[in-house]
Amino acid sequence: MSKIRGKDLLVSIAGLFIMGFGCGMMVKSGWGADTTNAFFSGISKSTGLSVGSINAIANVIMVIVIYFLEKKYIGISMFLAIFLIKFPVDLAISICPSYQSVLTAGIGLVIALFIVSFGASMMIVSGLGCSPYDGLVLSISGRFHLPYLAVKYAADAVCVLGGWLFHGEVGLGTLLCFLLMGSFISFNRKWMEEKYG
């Protein structure tokens, strides 16, 4: 196993906090969360637990599933997510405003999406692994020899359906996340990999 650099660990933790804060911004907006938190916010309403706590519990479950499917995708970033993701998500929900118009919602959600993608890209370039959700998609794709994009879209669709059934934060932000997140991550990841060493 290669030695973990302090720089990589710091970048991964910072990326996790940035990504979590952006997710919390989307939940609080009132115009729809990202695909996973659309589902988690619905479970939160049903159980009384915070969205951050649901995130942490779901991350534990996903890591266990990944272990049995394709444990090669398990990295330190997944365990950081289990223990740390609750704090930035709940912080953003507690301090960020709700949007009052379609215009402010559109602008605010695009900014939040960029923040989420920025944090996710930092986690990727750190080399310490991806989030449990991304790892789960990769594991299902690898184990059953299915196209990655097909599994990703199917997983997102399941999360959105779950969010709708549990009355979670499904809306404009969820649609924007579905359409733009991949492009934002590709953009951020490209220039980060050029600068990071």
Distance of alpha carbon 189 from alpha carbon 182, whole angstroms? 10
Instruction: Report the pLDDT value the prediction gives residue 2, as an integer from 0 to 100.
Output: 59
In angstroms and rounded to an integer, the radius of gyration of the C-alpha atoms of the chain is 16
**pLDDT of the chain along its 197 residues, tens only?**
457 788 899 999 999 999 999 999 988 888 888 899 999 999 999 999 999 899 889 999 999 999 999 988 888 988 998 889 889 999 999 998 887 888 888 888 888 999 999 998 898 888 888 889 988 998 999 899 998 888 888 998 899 999 999 999 998 889 888 888 878 887 888 888 887 76
Domain ranges, residue 127: 6-195
Domain assignment present for residue 183? The answer is yes
Instruction: Report the pLDDT value the prediction gives residue 162, as an integer from 0 to 100.
Output: 95
Instruction: Report the pLDDT value the prediction gives residue 1, as an integer from 0 to 100.
Output: 47
Q: Are 16 and 76 in contact (CB under 8 A)?
A: no
Instruction: Report the pLDDT value the prediction gives residue 87, as an integer from 0 to 100.
Output: 93
What is the token pair recorded at 90?
């709940």
Closest residue by Cα to residue 32 from 187, 142, 178: 178
Total of domains in the chain: 1
What is the SS3 assignment for 167? coil
Instruction: Report the pLDDT value the prediction gives residue 153, as an integer from 0 to 100.
Output: 86
Quote the pTM value: 0.80
Instruction: Report the pLDDT value the prediction gives residue 72, as an integer from 0 to 100.
Output: 86
Domain assignment present for residue 1? The answer is no
Q: Which CA distances in Å does 141 have to 48, 64, 145, 149, 157?
A: 33, 16, 5, 9, 16
Instruction: Report the pLDDT value the prediction gives residue 185, as an integer from 0 to 100.
Output: 81
Residue type, 123: M
